[in-house]
Structure 1
Amino acid sequence: MSKAVMRNVFVYSILIIVISFLGWPAESKTFEVEFTFMPGRPGRSVCLAGTFNNWSITATPMEDADGDGIWKIVLSLPRGEHQYKFVVDGTVWVTDMKAEAFRDDGYGGRNSVVIVGDTELLKAECSAGDGQIVTEALWHENASPYVEREGSTTVAVRLRTRTSDVERVRMEYALNLSSHEGCADGFDNQARGSVRGSIPMEPYATAGGFTYYRAVIPASHGLLCYRFVLEDGDTRIWYSPAGANRYAPGADDGFELDLAGLSVFQTPEWVKDAVFYQIFPERFANGDPANDPFAVRSWGGTPTTGNFFGGDFQGVIDNISYLEELGITAIWFNPIFEAPSNHKYDTSDYMKIDPSFGGLDKFKEMVSALHAAGIKVILDGVFNHTGYNFWAFQDIVAKGRDSRYVNWYHIHDFPIRRSPKPNYEAWWGFPDLPQLNMENPEVRSYILDVVTYWMELGVDGWRLDVPNEIGHFFWREFRDHVKGINPDAYIVGEIWHNGSAWLQGDQFDAVMNYVFRDAVLDFFARKTCKASDFMGRLESTRADYPDAASMVLLNLLGSHDTERVYTAFRGNKNLMVPAIVFQMTYPGAPIVYYGDEIGMRGSKDPGCRGTMVWDESKQDRELLQLYKGLIRLRKSSIALRRGNMRWLLVDDPTRSFAFSRHYEGETVVVAVCAGDTGVSVDLAMDSVSDGTVFVDAFTGQAHEVAGGRLEVFDLGPGEARILVAGTPEKNPEKNP
């Protein structure tokens, strides 16, 4: 379900001021931001809603203290991008038209954006090779994402610098295998039981004027002591807890990391290799008319919020070969539990399959068949709220305050009333969706029992619906429970903005990457952002997230909550094709919403939930072949699935960019032109040896690296190239 905000009205005068405090540490502090709003007409109340308060329309009230009609509030916000709107009288959503940037709100309007951070540090002059290093921009701390343990034998460490400020960065470290000994012993050449080393750090992400370097150190236990060495021109400095110094720090001046206290954040390896497919069960395929719901409509009819077409599990089973040919290795199913609606987000019983899908035995048969085809099964976990018909809520309806389940929900008074406004907490006020009381241990225990039941039947993971509505305490318990059943289970949350709070290793493996979707559509489809802004928005999440999470993010372009991809691009395939190429080559797991691969059209819900088009004469077969080819290429390339990413070119005038993915000796270069005119691409390849030959994965044309540069090649408008170092497999017939 979408929790994007819904309205956009005109505003006369809005002022926003960002006040940065320059004390250190940079990443731990917050920044005061003053929001000021003058509504177009008088209002009784104004609240600020945004990503910082889960879009609550009551949590952050503004004040007009002097009665001059200007409402104000000052918030302390962490570094990064924050989306917001003003809410007048609890119902009217207002976009700040004076904001520095905007994002699509998912309902045809725009959210305002404020970006906060160490902006003063960006004013200092810097240039790689000039011998000057902006030491005030250097930052490291012993917390995620600056330190990360992806497995039991390695530790990843990051350092922040100004962008284009240093030429080389390395990390000096000493590992004391007896962790009670301090760093002084570790850096001592004569120390017993210690391992010393020095390792180059590579650029990992560049965002907001800063570059984040990263290195992975082999270390399984003990006390890790380390410091950083930066070189630029003839200048060399060391960075340690004491700060930046031109002289080597003393033996006792190093960052300390006790590995015994650093938990492992391990995400499922299989997700890195996966290509996901989202199935809305009621609309994918009707394989058994015998279980059709009442008044089912003819397949291919116009979808509404309330009609049914008879999609079921047998329809999925009948089309597994189609999914195999497409290259799908995992499916996220929208809710399958018993519920009265077509979308099933209003659960009546978590322990029962909706009968219109075929029942429990048919579910088991489907899971078995999918697993036999190498396809994982992810279920939609709707645990924030139930449906009005849920058995526990119906017990309250019948018995009132005498029901033993009265504390399972937030009931204000009795008897239960649905209108004019429910007298119980409901998701966004919808009376059909009463909100569970997750503070109640009995409720939490019940939900975890539900999870156990379905995982023991072979479910491979959970996509969690509106998880930001539930406290982090439950998701920590949820992760421990799920991973205790199956350490390889995938946990992905529906978060529409930055998901850092859920990606600390104690809650989710990943989030649905709506930040990715918004950036891709703004750059390719809407053309509302420059190439450099596009890169910056994507790099911001890579800078904020642990790598373990970044590599398994669910990268989507469309879903049941958004307009379809073809519709978002207004049918312009010249714009759409390079966007799909980018989705299939970017770090993370790509996901295809059923029917997008054949060019299905549809506006937002309910238009995006039409029945799958199985008539090949009505499918975009050219688009389908593109998807098949790109998926085949991704599955054949270890670099595209697991490789580190480095931007090689970002050019605003031509709206073009290029990046590389590298892993274990394999390098892939992806170049895209999204502009209206072609471009000649000339790329520096510092990390690739001269004589290396890159082969176009689609045309077979060879390009050689000479003098540290990849041979010049041309890109036409809306064209993309994928170049692989070595001989690629035979791939699709069409050049994207």
Structure 2
Amino acid sequence: MILSAITHSYNPVQQSVVDENTLELRIETARDDISRVVLLYGPRYSESEDPSNSKKLKLLYQTAEKDIYSIRLNLNDTRVRYMFYLEDFIGNGYWYNEKGFSIKRPRGHHSGYFQFSIINESDIPAWPEWPKQQVVYQIFPDRFNRSGKENMAKSKWGTLPESNSIYGGNLQGIIDKLDYLENLGITSIYLTPIFKSPSNHKYNIDDYYQIDPNFGNLKVAKKLVAEAHKRNIKIILDAVFNHSGSGFFAFQDLLQNGRNSKYLNWYYPESLPLSLNEINYKTFANNVKQMPRLNMNNQETQDYFLEVAKYWTQELNLDGWRLDVADEVSSDFWYKFRKTLKEIKPDIFIIGEVWYRANKWLEGDQFDSVMNYDLQKDIFSLIIDQAITADVFSKRIQNNFKNYKTEIPNQLLNLLDTHDTPRISWYFKNLKQSEKEKKIKLISTLQFLLPGIPMVYYGTEIGLTGGDDPDCRRTMIWNPQNQNTDLLMHYKKLIKYYKDQLIFQNGKYKEIYSDAVKNILVFALETNENKKIIIANFSEQKQILNLDNLQIKLRKFILNSKPEFNLNSYDIDPKTDEFIIFPNNIVVI
């Protein structure tokens, strides 16, 4: 038994509050090193020297190096003490508590039990439930659809975008296409910024209280939300609080009045007077002069932007916010942001933009979700770069999941492409059209079947392509003759299947079998009531999965069940217990 690999600590993932009576405990061990883990537990305040309750932990995740075991305790008294008993495959056993490891069971109140003090009401995470039933559609308003006001356009619709192109897409244009989105199966729209800004992307906002005139006005924005809500479509807006535009009133005052400006502490001047030419102030990224970085540690700055968020949440009856550059903004502000908005609308959905593992923001006091670029990178490594095999992919995503509370993976926003990345079609541009379609169908199906909330970037469903920014922000194609209608039908079918199966919104990932040589992965999504088996062939050849490799109960389940969803051909030979699956295929049973 590798004792140095065994860990349990007082962090919010390994000691996780589920509800007012339920505590989840986790422990990590070396991979394939332990045959069983048992928890001994009981009340902290007890006349008995030692607790006598015991329960066996279940294997939750397996990474390349670790096994993660978990147990949920439903307790009348949540003031609990506990220790673990671990046994390896040759019968060696150790007790594990705060003091470390021992062969003989430690006894007595002060022998080193792990402790959990009590579940207070404020400890219980209040996650909104509705987002887990959503399919999100991201819209870059200038490029989605234009309704009237062609005079606002400076570029011809359909031409390739440049960094300063303005095509005249607007909010009324989105309203006009709500029926299209409803027919596609979309249930939430995430809009990149819509407030007044001189750019086409609107991430340098000059007036946080005005809808950009290119997009419309307050009346049209209210109409968009109302019309979307009639179709049971939620609206999520982009919040840009890491930086303002250089035309924002506070920055303009600082430019003009320097040290005498009452907004001096709203920004990060490096010297005075400020100069747009020298860029002697902190900005978004590096020296982006039109995006001066806001000091969100300053109370006055915080108060202003909390009022902005409150105003639009109430004025438009918003369903959610996506927080731009969320990881660079003060957590103190996000604590207040969450508390402020949850008091207005308890089920409002708060999504942070974080491009890496984001557990520190997902403990229940800041965000409800993040844009899951972590998963996107792993999917790309598997299917686009072909740098890893199916077994490595499975271990990587479980390594991601283990860093979050058990509910969190189902709440993350799973994406393939966005306004900041090349389009999925672009990565397969050198393939024949038929092969390109197979790859897009494969990668999108995997996106939908893994735990998380699927997000579709506008136009991906009809084959819109484009490289790095600004090319990934091409105008939407509305002429059916120029759309990839076969791909569109795939997305409609996939979205409908996803929405019809509750397990895809709540199921927990469990790897069943993986083969590095054949590049096959078999995994399950499980709830207490249901299970789906997903068999995926990521290789370019027909592969044979010998069902003898699986447990008897699971083998019978596959042999006796009719697949519900598949991309390509498959066959089952009950005589040889072989499941034959064609290339680039996913089968759901």
Q: TM-score, normalised by structure 1?
A: 0.74
Q: Show the counterpart of 1:282.
A: 142
Per-residue CA deviations over 1:410-458 (Å, capped at 9, x if unaligned) read 2234443211x21222222111011111121100000100111111131
The one-letter amino acid paired with 2:24 is A
Q: Given that residues 203 and 646 in structure 1 are in contact (C-alpha distance below 8 angstroms), is that contact kept between their aligned partners in structure 2? A: no
Q: Show the counterpart of 1:463.
A: 322
Deviation at 1:234, TM superposition (A): 6.1
CA 1:621/1:229 → structure 2, altered by over 3 Å: closer, same or farther? farther
The one-letter amino acid paired with 1:424 is Y
Task: Please give the alpha-carbon distance, in whole angstroms, between the structure 2 residues aligned to 1:293 and 1:439.
Answer: 41
Q: Show the counterpart of 1:212.
A: 68
Q: Show the counterpart of 1:665.
A: 529
Deviation at 1:521, TM superposition (A): 1.0
Task: Please give the alpha-carbon distance, in whole angstroms, between the structure 1 residues aligned to 2:106 and 2:283.
Answer: 58
Per-residue CA deviations over 1:538-574 (Å, capped at 9, x if unaligned) read 1221111222322211111100000001112335233
Q: Show the counterpart of 2:516.
A: 652
Matched, 1:200 2:51: no
Task: Please give the alpha-carbon distance, in whole angstroms, between the structure 2 residues aligned to 1:632 and 1:200.
Answer: 39
Q: Show the counterpart of 1:565.
A: 424
Report the more deviating stretch, 156-165 or 471-480. Answer: 471-480
Q: Show the counterpart of 1:167.
A: 35
Task: Please give the alpha-carbon distance, in whole angstroms, between the structure 2 residues aligned to 1:687 and 1:154.
Answer: 31
Task: Please give the alpha-carbon distance, in whole angstroms, between the structure 1 residues aligned to 2:308 and 2:264.
Answer: 20
Per-residue CA deviations over 1:152-175 (Å, capped at 9, x if unaligned) read 23211111111112233343332x
The one-letter amino acid paired with 1:228 is F
Aligned with residue 712 of structure 1, among 568, 578, 585 = 578
Matched, 1:583 2:447: yes
Matched, 1:418 2:285: no
Q: Show the counterpart of 1:518.
A: 377
Task: Please give the alpha-carbon distance, in whole angstroms, between the structure 1 residues aligned to 2:23 and 2:459.
Answer: 41
Q: Given that residues 197 and 203 in structure 2 are in contact (C-alpha distance below 8 angstroms), is that contact kept between their aligned partners in structure 1? A: yes
Q: Given that residues 333 and 378 in structure 1 are in contact (C-alpha distance below 8 angstroms), is that contact kept between their aligned partners in structure 2? A: yes
Aligned with residue 14 of structure 2, among 143, 146, 155 = 146
Q: Given that residues 152 and 167 in structure 2 are in contact (C-alpha distance below 8 angstroms), is that contact kept between their aligned partners in structure 1? A: no
Secondary structure at the aligned position of 1:645 is classed as strand
Per-residue CA deviations over 1:106-164 (Å, capped at 9, x if unaligned) read xxxxxxxxxxxxxxxxxxxxxxxxxxx33332211121211111332321111111111
CA 1:295/1:270 → structure 2, altered by over 3 Å: closer, same or farther? closer
Aligned with residue 386 of structure 1, among 236, 239, 244 = 244
Secondary structure at the aligned position of 1:141 is classed as coil
Q: Show the counterpart of 2:23.
A: 155
Per-residue CA deviations over 1:314-364 (Å, capped at 9, x if unaligned) read 111111122122221112110011111110001011111111111111111
Deviation at 1:366, TM superposition (A): 0.8
Aligned with residue 501 of structure 2, among 634, 637, 648 = 637
Q: Given that residues 587 and 640 in structure 1 are in contact (C-alpha distance below 8 angstroms), is that contact kept between their aligned partners in structure 2? A: yes
The one-letter amino acid paired with 1:143 is N
Q: Which is richer in helix?
A: 2
Q: Given that residues 566 and 588 in structure 2 are in contact (C-alpha distance below 8 angstroms), is that contact kept between their aligned partners in structure 1? A: no
Per-residue CA deviations over 1:591-639 (Å, capped at 9, x if unaligned) read 1111111111100111100111111111111111221222211112222
Matched, 1:351 2:218: no
Deviation at 1:689, TM superposition (A): 9.1
CA 1:188/1:623 → structure 2, altered by over 3 Å: closer, same or farther? same
Q: Given that residues 330 and 377 in structure 1 are in contact (C-alpha distance below 8 angstroms), is that contact kept between their aligned partners in structure 2? A: yes
Summarize the alignment of residues 180-191 of structure 1 with structure 2, pairs less than 5 Å apart.
181=45, 185=48, 187-188=50-51
Summarize the alignment of residues 29-428 of structure 1 with structure 2, pairs less than 5 Å apart.
133-174=1-42, 176=43, 181=45, 185=48, 187-188=50-51, 196=53, 198-219=54-75, 221-233=77-89, 235=91, 236-250=93-107, 252=109, 253=111, 254-260=113-119, 263-287=123-147, 289-290=148-149, 292=150, 294-419=152-277, 421-427=278-284, 428=286
Summarize the alignment of residues 720-735 of structure 1 with structure 2, pairs less than 5 Å apart.
720-723=586-589
Secondary structure at the aligned position of 1:211 is classed as strand
Task: Please give the alpha-carbon distance, in whole angstroms, between the structure 2 residues aligned to 1:218 and 1:410.
Answer: 49
Secondary structure at the aligned position of 1:311 is classed as coil
Aligned with residue 292 of structure 2, among 422, 429, 434 = 434
Task: Please give the alpha-carbon distance, in whole angstroms, between the structure 1 residues aligned to 2:329 and 2:167.
Answer: 33
Task: Please give the alpha-carbon distance, in whole angstroms, between the structure 1 residues aligned to 2:483 and 2:361.
Answer: 39
Deviation at 1:537, TM superposition (A): 2.3
Q: Given that residues 152 and 168 in structure 2 are in contact (C-alpha distance below 8 angstroms), is that contact kept between their aligned partners in structure 1? A: no
Task: Please give the alpha-carbon distance, in whole angstroms, between the structure 2 residues aligned to 1:710 and 1:214.
Answer: 36
CA 1:432/1:438 → structure 2, altered by over 3 Å: closer, same or farther? same
- Segments of structure 2 that go 5 or more residues without pairing to the other structure are none
Task: Please give the alpha-carbon distance, in whole angstroms, between the structure 2 residues aligned to 1:437 and 1:220.
Answer: 46
Report the more deviating stretch, 345-354 or 643-652. Answer: 643-652
Deviation at 1:646, TM superposition (A): 0.7
The one-letter amino acid paired with 1:225 is R
Q: Show the counterpart of 1:487.
A: 346
CA 1:536/1:702 → structure 2, altered by over 3 Å: closer, same or farther? closer
Task: Please give the alpha-carbon distance, in whole angstroms, between the structure 2 residues aligned to 1:186 and 1:378.
Answer: 54
Q: Which is richer in strand?
A: 1
Q: Given that residues 696 and 702 in structure 1 are in contact (C-alpha distance below 8 angstroms), is that contact kept between their aligned partners in structure 2? A: no
Deviation at 1:703, TM superposition (A): 9.6
Secondary structure at the aligned position of 1:671 is classed as strand
Q: Show the counterpart of 1:620.
A: 484
Deviation at 1:582, TM superposition (A): 0.9
Secondary structure at the aligned position of 2:18 is classed as coil
The one-letter amino acid paired with 1:269 is E
Q: Given that residues 258 and 272 in structure 2 are in contact (C-alpha distance below 8 angstroms), is that contact kept between their aligned partners in structure 1? A: yes
Task: Please give the alpha-carbon distance, in whole angstroms, between the structure 2 residues aligned to 1:695 and 1:404.
Answer: 69
Between 1 and 2, higher relative CO (CA 8 Å, sep ≥ 6) is seen in 2
Task: Please give the alpha-carbon distance, in whole angstroms, between the structure 1 residues aligned to 2:552 and 2:386.
Answer: 31
Task: Please give the alpha-carbon distance, in whole angstroms, between the structure 1 residues aligned to 2:493 and 2:106.
Answer: 54
Secondary structure at the aligned position of 1:559 is classed as coil
Deviation at 1:718, TM superposition (A): 0.9
Secondary structure at the aligned position of 1:331 is classed as strand
Task: Please give the alpha-carbon distance, in whole angstroms, between the structure 2 residues aligned to 1:332 and 1:552.
Answer: 15
Q: TM-score, normalised by structure 2?
A: 0.91
The one-letter amino acid paired with 2:65 is G
CA 1:310/1:685 → structure 2, altered by over 3 Å: closer, same or farther? farther
Q: Given that residues 387 and 434 in structure 1 are in contact (C-alpha distance below 8 angstroms), is that contact kept between their aligned partners in structure 2? A: yes
Secondary structure at the aligned position of 2:119 is classed as helix
Matched, 1:596 2:463: no
Question: Structure 1 vs Structure 2: percent identity of aligned residues?
Answer: 32
Task: Please give the alpha-carbon distance, in whole angstroms, between the structure 1 residues aligned to 2:309 and 2:292.
Answer: 20
CA 1:417/1:551 → structure 2, altered by over 3 Å: closer, same or farther? same
Task: Please give the alpha-carbon distance, in whole angstroms, between the structure 2 residues aligned to 1:649 and 1:577.
Answer: 23
Deviation at 1:651, TM superposition (A): 1.5
Secondary structure at the aligned position of 1:158 is classed as strand
Per-residue CA deviations over 1:173-232 (Å, capped at 9, x if unaligned) read 32x3xx6x26x648456xxxxxx4x43322222224111111222136530222333344
CA 1:186/1:620 → structure 2, altered by over 3 Å: closer, same or farther? farther
Q: Show the counterpart of 2:471.
A: 607
